[in-house]
Structure 1
Amino acid sequence: MEDQKLSDIAYSIRKSCHDSGYSEIFPPAYVKSDRIGGFRFIFRNDVYVLEPDITLRLMNNRFPGNSRVYYISRQADEFLGESLKAGLEIIGAVPGEANIEILKMAIKILDDLGIRDYNIDISITDVFDPYRKKKDGDIILNAVKNRNYPQLQNMDIDGMDKLFQIMDTRTRNSGIPELDSILEEINDPRVIIDLGTVRQPEYYRGLIFEIYGRHEFLGGGGNYVIKKMNGCGFSLDLQALSKLYGDVQR
């Protein structure tokens, strides 16, 4: 039954992407690197990572400008825990236009699956730049991501009040033109500005977003640079989607 649901979800995602002009790609199963997170192994004295983050697998590919691609692929963590991910990437397009399109595609995919009870929280990496550059920047951002207020209160952070204000800002009018214009263009109440949103890994620069169901984290994405070209994309967790997909099919 679970395999059938995942098959139905994958079919729907492929149809949504194909109908919108996206081409399917098949990322490599491993990459050569000693810096990327995931399950590592050594072969002939070189370090490889098995099924790492999808975007990192695409970094070695060459794409023509204005490429629109999608994929469905396994991803492994350092303990060989697996997840099945589907995602889209727009590479080499005008960043502002790509942001609108990629968010609309996330909405289309979920709506085509019959899933409508979800929220998309958007933010921008710039708001945390002053904290990212601090000595304990990674620890601070990880605490923000987990909403760990006690940990932050026990740290010596200049501008603590401002940091908490950012973390607690959920709005439809942030005063940040890039974010406010996205809400105006998309005009969907399920999209909200949440300045406390933090995305990892650290290659994201610019727009970032996360997608939540009633109780499930469904996926997320944002802007990055690949081969000196702007990229924008997201991934979705098919197992998480299957929990909501089952509800709407009954």
Structure 2
Amino acid sequence: MIQCPRGTRDFLPDELEKRRHYESVLRGVARRFGYREIETPIFEEAELFILRSGPNVMKELYAFKDKGDREIALRPEMTAPVIRAFVNGMGSYPKPIKLFYFGQCFRYERPQAGRYREFFQFGSEIIGAATVETDAESIAMAASMIKALGLKDYKLRIGHIGVLRQRIADIGVPAEKTAEVLQKLDKKNYDECRPLLQSMGVKDEDISGLFELTETVGGTEVLSKVPGEAGDYLRSLTSILEKMGVKDVEIDLGVVRGLDYYTGMVFEAEAPSLGAEKQICGGGSYSLSELFGGEKVFSTGFAIGFDRILLAMEREGIAYEPEGIDAYVIPVSDDVRADAAGIVTAIREAGASADVDIMGRKMAKALKYADSVRARCAVIVGRKELDRGCVVLRDMKTGEQSEVPLAELAGKFAQE
């Protein structure tokens, strides 16, 4: 039997209905914040992602040559394609430009719980401003999305990459080595970071001070330890967030995000129920457009790992009940099947969801099937009732039945 490729999944109807429901929740929040949806190709020139993340990204890219001998890659994330689209066709748009997106991405990595080779990402970008209000808007929307999904056990952590970049420069790390150091700090991989820094001639006390800085974690009270403009910026940011109803944030100068293009504020959301791989959302402020041939424009964005946040919701016991259909029409005998077809059509035209028995089941089995597809009502079409201009309407939850005139049936469902 042929199976779907490793790291991918089939979404059967109940699961897909749940996913579509939660997608619509996220889209609704984005629209309330004034964002508009954008969609980009599922594959791009591989160079787009190499420019963004460096040549090491090739190890996890699904990359190939097309028939024109061009290096193509399935997208591993969606920020770079969106900024590429901005450079290609949105440069003259009035700013700020507020965009959101949803789609599948691909990375060749080891599949595990909540991580797949084909995964789904919901994200947003505000393009055109480097202000504290822009950062607050982005964080507030991410928090609103998590809240709208119903997740309760999560933590929102905010940092400032500029603090670490400045400290790294001050202790003598060459500029070309900054990204490598930040990546190790992002993973809290101190055992590898220490000898790396020592090989650059960094003093042990400076290394310890750098590690201590990444462990600066707490409420707004720790902002007194954040030096200079970054400290003032974070104080202003948390003040605005509090006005926006985002109060339970944690300041964490160890939030690095591991990507070289972040320039200022960075943030992450995590769900403890997921264990070691607990991140469900991440983002920050950055400048990327100049890499793709555009003018330098500052942006703030984030991405939600849709698969991971659904897993966190599941572990928190948040259940989704499939909707089912409004009506299931059951012809009692063969001579009323044409009438049943007309009745189900009238119900559908009234705006309700309806199905009709096409298998010729007996009444008991037809009712059992109606229950299995979660029909709220069964419309039983019998010859005697039709001759009186009626059908029998059965409430599938209570079992109560009543005769309803055909002329009123569609209107009854329209009212519901």
- Taking structure 1 as the reference length, the TM-score comes to 0.90
Corresponding position of 2:63? 40
1:171-186 matches, within 5 Å, as 171=218, 172=220, 173-174=222-223, 175=226, 176-186=231-241
Secondary structure at 1:116 match in 2: coil
Q: Is the 8 A contact 1:115 1:248 kept in 2?
A: no
Deviation sequence 1:150-195 (CA, Å, 0-9, x none): 2233330442022111111003232311112212221244311100
Higher mean Cα deviation, 30-39 or 85-94?
A: 30-39
Deviation of residue 207 (structure 1)? 1.0
Deviation of residue 136 (structure 1)? 4.0
Larger radius of gyration: 2
Q: Does 1:54 align with 2:54?
A: no
Give the ranges of 4+ consecutive aligned residues of structure 1 lying more than 4 Å apart after TM superposition: none
- Taking structure 2 as the reference length, the TM-score comes to 0.56
Distance across 1 between alignment mates of 2:317 and 2:215:
32
Deviation of residue 218 (structure 1)? 0.1
Distance across 2 between alignment mates of 1:152 and 1:183:
31
Secondary structure at 2:151 match in 1: coil
- Give the superposed CA RMSD: 2.1
1:1-80 matches, within 5 Å, as 1-34=14-47, 35-36=50-51, 37=57, 38-43=61-66, 44-62=68-86, 63=90, 64=93, 65-79=95-109
Number of residue equivalences: 250
Query: Of the candidates 185, 188, 213, which is equivalent to residue 166 of structure 1?
Result: 213
Gap runs ≥5 in structure 1: none
Gap runs ≥5 in structure 2: 1-13, 52-56, 110-115, 320-416
1:73-88 matches, within 5 Å, as 73-79=103-109, 81-88=117-124
Q: Percent identity?
A: 23
Q: Which has the higher strand share?
A: 1
Deviation sequence 1:97-130 (CA, Å, 0-9, x none): 1101011101111111111221111111212225
Q: Is the 8 A contact 2:133 2:237 kept in 1?
A: no
Distance across 1 between alignment mates of 2:180 and 2:253:
18
Corresponding position of 2:180? 139
Distance across 2 between alignment mates of 1:206 and 1:139:
18
Tell me which of the two structures has the higher relative contact order, counting C-alpha pairs closer than 8 angstroms and 6 or more residues apart: 1
Q: Does 1:223 align with 2:285?
A: yes
Higher mean Cα deviation, 196-205 or 76-85?
A: 76-85
Q: Which has the higher helix share?
A: 2
Deviation of residue 28 (structure 1)? 1.8
